[in-house]
């Protein structure tokens, strides 16, 4: 109904009292209709907004494959993409949102509720990629981290492992939290004790190889003290798992003979690690493409209910980093 009031529709049975209530609510909330700037080329633009830490880790093959899906999905629908970084402070919108004809925003990484409200206030639809909003009032496309955690435990269990550690992600990561919950739940169901190595807080926003190396150091410290040696490690993503592998191999540990390691994501290069990394396959390209389709659907039908699209995570790429015992 709000969109109909903004367009001045008088043929849909909206009476004057209702129209005034909508306008008053818009004024109280600070809602400002977005002013479009017509482009000389007539191009239709979508903004790909990169959350904190994403631009620093944009070489991550996971993001590269998501971007390929975004690009192909946008091109197929006649849209162009523009990259921006959501590093603006409270009260400010990124200048490109006011200066260019942006139809909607595809958000990779964190976006806090204040910024989401700012975008809502200027009438820009948003689709969150691999994260979601607690309120559930924003479209999102996300992989099923909970399923991934359970599938990883089942696979390692079937290979004979009973002492399975998890290199966790940071608390702010929705998918990492789901992954950990799935891991802990399935371990408990199998009568196994979860062994979680916490994400190092000093690593900030980057869930990368350096974080994996730090957690591998913590694992080595625990290994000396634990009477039941861990036989398998499950990393929150491939970068973390590969970083852990690099440090463990450098310390002289024989992989997978002494320790099996598994990742999540199946990024480019996972097959080139030493040993080649066994990992859960994340539908990265599909996530990008479906995010564009969801946003374009929202642009065309702004009054539809928000949708959360959860992509399955039940396929494993079996390589040489996991040993059957």
Specify the CATH number for the domain of residue 55.
3.40.50.2300
pLDDT tens-place values along the chain, 325 residues long: 445 544 455 555 566 776 676 556 555 545 555 444 444 455 789 999 887 667 666 667 898 999 999 999 999 999 999 998 776 455 566 777 656 568 999 999 877 777 888 888 888 999 999 998 876 789 999 999 999 999 999 999 999 999 999 999 998 888 999 999 999 999 999 999 999 999 998 877 788 999 999 999 999 999 888 756 899 999 999 999 999 999 999 999 999 999 999 999 999 999 999 999 999 999 999 999 999 999 999 999 999 999 999 999 999 999 999 999 9
- Whether 306 and 116 have beta carbons less than 8 Å apart is answered as no
Specify whether 43 is located in the same domain as 100: yes
Residue 187 inside a domain? The answer is: yes
Specify whether 167 is located in the same domain as 278: yes
Element housing 102 (H / E)? strand 102-108
Specify whether 170 is located in the same domain as 127: no
Specify whether 109 is located in the same domain as 161: no
Specify whether 132 is located in the same domain as 183: no
pTM: 0.83
Residue 139 inside a domain? The answer is: yes
DSSP states of 264-321: EE--TTGGGSSSPPEEEEP-HHHHHHHHHHHHHHHHH-TTSPP-EEEE----EE--SS
Q: Are strands 278-281 and 164-167 parallel, antiparallel or unpaired?
A: unpaired
205: phi then psi, degrees, rounded to nearest 5:
-95, -5
- Beta pairing partners, 310: 142
Collapse the DSSP code of 218 into the 3-class scheme (helix H, G, I; strand E, B; otherwise coil) and give the result: helix
Residue 321 inside a domain? The answer is: no
Collapse the DSSP code of 4 into the 3-class scheme (helix H, G, I; strand E, B; otherwise coil) and give the result: helix
Tell the residue number behind the tokens 């400010």, with chain if given. 92
Specify whether 220 is located in the same domain as 293: no
Specify whether 190 is located in the same domain as 255: yes
- Whether 277 and 298 have beta carbons less than 8 Å apart is answered as no
Residue 54 inside a domain? The answer is: yes
Specify whether 159 is located in the same domain as 36: no
Per-residue exposure over 173-192, b if at least 16 CB sit within 10 Å of its own CB, e if not: bbbbbbbbebbbebbeeeeb
Dihedral of the CA atoms 183, 188, 191, 197 (nearest 10)? 50
Domain total of the chain: 2
Q: How far apart are the C-alpha atoms of 141 and 94, rounded to whole Å? A: 23
Residue 254 inside a domain? The answer is: yes
Residue 91 inside a domain? The answer is: yes
Q: Are strands 316-317 and 278-281 parallel, antiparallel or unpaired?
A: antiparallel
Specify whether 223 is located in the same domain as 303: no
Tell the residue number behind the tokens 């409200």, with chain if given. 117
At 15 the pLDDT is: 67
Specify whether 6 is located in the same domain as 115: yes
Specify whether 41 is located in the same domain as 54: yes
Specify whether 190 is located in the same domain as 96: no
Residue 15 inside a domain? The answer is: yes
- Residues 117, 284, 262, CA angle at the centre, nearest 5°? 115
At 154 the pLDDT is: 99
At 38 the pLDDT is: 45
Residue 28 inside a domain? The answer is: yes
Which range marks the domain in which residue 205 is found?
145-282
């Amino acid at each position: 109904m709000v969109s109909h009031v903004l367009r001045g529709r008088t043929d849909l049975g909206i009476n004057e009292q209702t129209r005034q209530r909508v306008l008053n609510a818009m004024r109280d909330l600070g809602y400002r209709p977005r002013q479009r700037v017509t482009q000389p080329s007539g191009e239709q633009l979508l903004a790909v907004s990169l959350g904190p830490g994403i631009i620093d880790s944009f070489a991550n093959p996971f993001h590269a494959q998501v971007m390929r899906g975004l690009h192909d999905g946008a091109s197929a629908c006649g849209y162009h993409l523009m990259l921006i970084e959501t590093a603006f402070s409270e009260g400010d919108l990124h200048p490109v949102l006011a200066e260019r004809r942006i139809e909607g925003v595809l958000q990779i990484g964190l976006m806090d509720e204040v910024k989401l409200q700012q975008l809502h206030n200027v009438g820009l639809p948003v689709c969150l990629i691999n994260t979601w909003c607690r309120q559930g009032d924003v479209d999102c496309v996300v992989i099923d981290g909970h399923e991934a955690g359970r599938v990883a435990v089942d696979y390692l269990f079937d290979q004979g492992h009973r002492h399975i550690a998890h290199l966790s992600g940071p608390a702010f990561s929705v998918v990492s939290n789901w992954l950990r919950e799935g891991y802990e739940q399935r371990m408990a169901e199998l009568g196994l004790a979860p062994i979680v190595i916490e994400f190092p807080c000093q690593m900030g926003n980057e869930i990368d190889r350096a974080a994996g190396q730090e957690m591998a150091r913590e694992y080595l410290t625990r290994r000396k003290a634990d009477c039941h040696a861990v036989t398998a490690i499950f990393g929150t993503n491939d970068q973390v798992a590969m970083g852990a592998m690099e440090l463990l191999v450098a310390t002289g540990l024989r992989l997978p003979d002494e320790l099996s390691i598994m990742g999540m994501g199946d990024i480019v290069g996972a097959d080139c690690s030493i040993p080649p990394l066994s990992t859960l396959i994340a539908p990265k390209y599909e996530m990008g493409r479906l995010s564009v389709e969801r946003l374009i659907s929202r642009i065309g039908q702004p009054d539809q209910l928000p949708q959360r699209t959860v992509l399955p995570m039940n396929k494993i790429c079996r390589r040489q980093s996991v040993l059957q015992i």
